Structure 1
């Protein structure tokens, strides 16, 4: 029971006790008054009747005496009148019915009012004539006492109700600061920090609120410092300090992961002579300014599956998985245009001081060979006077068809129309090997060919056609899970183009409202890039998901080297760490970065999940670093082995 209810209840008990005591006193006073009034009236009537009867009794006129008795006692205030003549022993007796109207029987049995009897001897001088005995009727007293009781009850009940309302309002106002502290404390327990509470006028509560606000600010600052420390460590380990892009170490990790998983797509190597000349001729400050200017433009190309890094002083590399040659060439030309902005050439006639080398990847390439091919492509590009861009094809056995964006879009549309989209699921487990959820991966199966989502998603994303695909996936998964009784929650990935589509957000809101029973079975996974580039639309979508009782997570957490402060604002259920943070567990610096990142997320009650966990040993190391969830090849082994 809350403090408010306890105080209100005890105050009402005291108020009820006081009003009950006053009611009892008033009731007894009224009862005593009615009994006394009955006795007084009886005494008066006996005296008056005695004077009226004496002349008739002295004259032996019994008829007149009887008429006087009938006239005097012709009412309901008396139950019996008895006149006994002393000389002849004759009696005149009158009995009157006892009618107690509108008074409940239980009230008469509970409250006892006894009849009063008075006897008086009638005389004439010294001569005794008769004995007059009159017995009163309590009916009138009962009626008056019942009416008084009803009035008292109504008055006291009204006072109790008004008192309860007033006490409720007063207590609610007095305890309002305490309720605010309670709500803030509940939010603080979930690591949600609210603005400082206003200081109340009550001295005790004012001290309490002041202390609470101070503690709230200190905890908030502590968590913010931890998040800043995590960002600082992450920047030192993986981020180039000048450009803000990934550094060479992070790039090598990404290349290693990419080349180990049947790679498709390619890399783009950009060399800017303008930056190199600026460093040599004008110094580091001038060169850094050009690097920063180019990096800001290159960040426009960032996406959830694209990595952009600074290799050295004047070279930049972009990794673009699952893209075609034409797309790589288009991206390379865009990078050249961005580099041309560094030239101070208003007429646009000076030669471009940059070159782009493009390498298509293959299964047999190593990191060393890939970088060597990139240098060769760059040298080849320098020989192209008109457009310094060159593509080097190293893959003779292409794993994906040379299809353009429009061809991929047509394939996806055909797959949606003919139900050619199928699903595979991968479990995410906790430290006890219990399944947290399973992530859904879509693929298209047409004839003998199978196309994974990674092959066509980037193409339809560039065409902003992800909404139709996402709607189909969500509708299909909802229908499938509706037919199942108990299922592990399924995580559905949402594309960036859908998040930026207000029509999709409205559609999803209607879908979630119509299926509240699915809130325990469906999760939504959003790419981190959306929280960097499209925070407003992403925040709106997250709020809609949360309002409907569903949950969401963040994929590729930490990939884009932006501040992770949005975690505290949006509070996802989980984050899936970018593979670069969980792959090199023998490097102490990178282990410190990972532990700092997971600690910051855990402090906000956000579950951290590592992807591509291949061995039990890797899982155990990640567990020591406070990672709470795991997804990859090892999950199938551990779940099936339980």
Structure 2
């Protein structure tokens, strides 16, 4: 994740934490204030109503009571206003009127009772009786005056728990009229606890239900007691309407959210400008780091203003300069070692590995010519009668003759190699049949002069073989060697030239065979060259996909010859595509976990249509893309490094890898290697075979490994046979080796 994204996320989290904290505190305070305000207002209303109703509560059926309560309730602030009866009272006249057994005479009630399950009855003392009782307590000599018989008695009904809210209560009593007639009667009075009740629905209007469910407002019911004299006769209850509080709270939340969102956007905009300013030098550091990884050791010229980033920039500049100096030093050392490894110390002639490389280059460019094998005759006998110095001078003089003998035509180039001891080779490039005859005669003349000077009649013999378009290096060397053997039978300093091709097929037959093999996929892919980790000999890192091709007679066709013909008739791209498809199927079917390298031709990696097909194929099998390693030889890469760099970049976009095999510094300069984003290189086997006894090879491999570590490139050795060589390679910490 980029630094800018991290900063945006951190600032957003901090902003959210601050906003959330302030928001919750604000909502909590607002909620508490609204609840307190609603409760206080409800309590004030209850108290005010209690005071207003006190003077008229004596008659609980007075319609003015309901009128007053409704006028207050109509304000809409209240959810409910309820007047409850605290003292259930009734008079004798209420009983007489409710009774169906009594006429209109004047009756007096006695023996009033009700079943215990409903409650109990108490007689209410009248004011006159109360005053008389008080006077009697104050003055023992006071005599009560008889209460008028006409006075009406009042009773209080105290309900049981079951009938605490009232109901239909039965009362039985005995009524006596003025004539002395006594009648027992039972009546049912409807005792109602709620005297007046006014309710309003809570309306929340635009307040969403989720907000109401999320925030709970507890508005307890408030009340005020109403007394009639010294007795509590009723209680007025007032409940606040929560809709008003929710509306105010919702407006507060909405306003705070909008403000916070706007503030957040402004903060992010300011942060964006600041981050761009802050990251500008960091992008320069990133560019420098990428350049270093790619082998481009640039410097940051304009140092940033910020102290910490400035210090890092200076450190990066210093690191870039040091790595560049280190790589330059390694390059110089490797160049010296390469020259030493590629040339014979005595004659300064290229060695056999250079011969093979130049022959491959000749094949790639489809050039013709001749290969000559030249051997000093009876060098061992000469050595017995001469000192080492004389032997060395003899060999050097002979080598100089081979180097200096050239045709006048500059297009006819001959290059001399020393294989070992007395054996030399010459590649005569662009020589036709007449040219090779002229060249050999010229060479024989020079050798004859040398023979006369050395007083040695028989100096050497020459075997020449013609290079044909589809021959292989072993075939050429075999043919030239056979010609040499024939030359020894002819006479002193003689030569034999083989001008006829040993191929049994015509070009048309080769074409038909190659087309049939590719069109019908008549080839097998084997997996060879198991490359194991040097740290863990059981860990298989890579195998190479090797194409095995046979003709109609089940004889092996040299892959070099096959590829050469396929390239000539533009079938090589189709061949590479089919090989890649077989390798992918092999990985999927056999659940392969290690990497597999696939050899590609130069024509394929230079073809944009092939690269597009390859990208599509790799992306289709994305899960195994990191196991596909596309292999190209160093001498093929040297033909067009820029196109190869393009190929490498495209392959990396798909998640696959690229290896350069048979790596030799004579083809790819180390300065070029650091500009190619390779995953790995595989050293030419000549660099590692015999390394245990060759200090120059040891220095070369060590320097290559050091350079590869700096460039983040893996280094593999190829076909290490001797245990002593293998142990030396392990000491230099190469990434892997095949044996």
Q: Give the TM-score band, short-chain normalised.
A: 0.5 to 0.7
1:442 and 1:452 in contact (8 A); partners too: no
1:172-571 mapped onto 2 (5 Å cutoff): 173-174=274-275, 176=279, 180=283, 203-211=306-314, 213-215=316-318, 217-218=320-321, 220-222=323-325, 224-226=327-329, 228-238=331-341, 248=348, 250-254=350-354, 268=371, 329=431, 358-359=464-465, 392-393=497-498, 401=503, 407-426=509-528, 427-431=530-534, 432-433=536-537, 434-446=539-551, 447-461=553-567, 465-486=571-592, 488-558=594-664, 560-571=666-677
> Structure 1 residue aligned with 2:727, among 620, 624, 632?
620
Specify every segment of 5 or more residues in structure 1 that has no aligned partner in the other structure, as ranges: 123-127, 241-246, 260-264, 271-286, 302-307, 321-326, 337-355, 384-389, 636-642
2:464 and 2:497 in contact (8 A); partners too: yes
Aligned match of 1:18? 22
Q: Quickly say closer, same or farther: Cα 1:10–1:227, change in 2 above 3 A.
A: farther
Specify every segment of 5 or more residues in structure 2 that has no aligned partner in the other structure, as ranges: 90-125, 128-153, 157-192, 360-367, 374-402, 419-423, 439-461, 467-472
Aligned match of 2:34? 30
1:98 and 1:139 in contact (8 A); partners too: no
How far off its partner does 1:120 sit?
7.0
> Structure 1 residue aligned with 2:196, among 73, 79, 94?
94
2:705 and 2:715 in contact (8 A); partners too: yes
1:563-613 Cα deviation digits (max 9, x unpaired) = 233433332221111233223422323321222122211322212122231
Q: Quickly say closer, same or farther: Cα 1:572–1:514, change in 2 above 3 A.
A: same
Task: Give me the whole-angstrom Cα distance separating, in 1, the residues matched to 2:218 and 2:433.
Answer: 105
Query: What's the secondary structure of 1:135's corresponding residue?
Result: strand
Aligned match of 1:125? none
Bigger shift: 584-593 or 614-623? 584-593
Q: Quickly say closer, same or farther: Cα 1:394–1:257, change in 2 above 3 A.
A: farther
> Structure 1 residue aligned with 2:686, among 580, 583, 586?
580
Aligned match of 2:384? none
Q: Quickly say closer, same or farther: Cα 1:365–1:533, change in 2 above 3 A.
A: closer
Aligned match of 1:137? 238
**Structure label with greater radius of gyration:** 2
Query: What's the secondary structure of 2:675's corresponding residue?
Result: helix
Query: What's the secondary structure of 1:533's corresponding residue?
Result: coil
Query: What's the secondary structure of 1:613's corresponding residue?
Result: coil
How far off its partner does 1:163 sit?
5.2
Task: Give me the whole-angstrom Cα distance separating, in 2, the residues matched to 1:108 and 1:372.
Answer: 102
Task: Give me the whole-angstrom Cα distance separating, in 2, the residues matched to 1:171 and 1:567.
Answer: 42
Task: Give me the whole-angstrom Cα distance separating, in 1, the residues matched to 2:266 and 2:656.
Answer: 41
Query: What's the secondary structure of 1:483's corresponding residue?
Result: helix
How far off its partner does 1:437 sit?
1.1
How far off its partner does 1:438 sit?
1.0
How far off its partner does 1:132 sit?
9.4
Cα RMSD (Å) of the superposition?
Answer: 5.5
Bigger shift: 88-97 or 588-597? 88-97
How far off its partner does 1:525 sit?
0.3
1:184 and 1:194 in contact (8 A); partners too: no
> Structure 2 residue aligned with 1:146, among 246, 259, 273?
246
Q: Quickly say closer, same or farther: Cα 1:564–1:185, change in 2 above 3 A.
A: closer
1:361-383 Cα deviation digits (max 9, x unpaired) = 878979xx979969x99xx9xx9
Q: Quickly say closer, same or farther: Cα 1:116–1:414, change in 2 above 3 A.
A: closer
Task: Give me the whole-angstrom Cα distance separating, in 1, the residues matched to 2:722 and 2:210.
Answer: 86
Bigger shift: 545-554 or 160-169? 160-169
1:333-377 Cα deviation digits (max 9, x unpaired) = 79x9xxxxxxxxxxxxxxxxxxx99546878979xx979969x99
How far off its partner does 1:510 sit?
2.6
Task: Give me the whole-angstrom Cα distance separating, in 2, the residues matched to 1:152 and 1:410.
Answer: 88
Query: What's the secondary structure of 1:450's corresponding residue?
Result: coil
Q: Quickly say closer, same or farther: Cα 1:267–1:554, change in 2 above 3 A.
A: farther
State TM-score, norm by structure 2: 0.59
1:412 and 1:469 in contact (8 A); partners too: no
Query: What's the secondary structure of 1:627's corresponding residue?
Result: coil
Query: What's the secondary structure of 1:536's corresponding residue?
Result: helix
How far off its partner does 1:439 sit?
0.8
How far off its partner does 1:554 sit?
0.5
Task: Give me the whole-angstrom Cα distance separating, in 2, the residues matched to 1:531 and 1:206.
Answer: 40
Task: Give me the whole-angstrom Cα distance separating, in 2, the residues matched to 1:443 and 1:415.
Answer: 11
Query: What's the secondary structure of 2:669's corresponding residue?
Result: coil
How far off its partner does 1:409 sit?
3.8
Aligned match of 2:81? 79
> Structure 2 residue aligned with 1:604, among 711, 714, 720?
711
Hey, which of these two has a bigger chunk of helix by percent? 1
Q: Quickly say closer, same or farther: Cα 1:108–1:469, change in 2 above 3 A.
A: closer
> Structure 2 residue aligned with 1:589, among 691, 696, 707?
696
Q: Quickly say closer, same or farther: Cα 1:413–1:256, change in 2 above 3 A.
A: closer
1:459-509 Cα deviation digits (max 9, x unpaired) = 444565422322232233333443322354321100112222233222222
Query: What's the secondary structure of 2:195's corresponding residue?
Result: strand
Task: Give me the whole-angstrom Cα distance separating, in 2, the residues matched to 1:194 and 1:81.
Answer: 93
1:81 and 1:132 in contact (8 A); partners too: no
Task: Give me the whole-angstrom Cα distance separating, in 1, the residues matched to 2:433 and 2:578.
Answer: 30
2:631 and 2:660 in contact (8 A); partners too: yes
Query: What's the secondary structure of 1:608's corresponding residue?
Result: strand
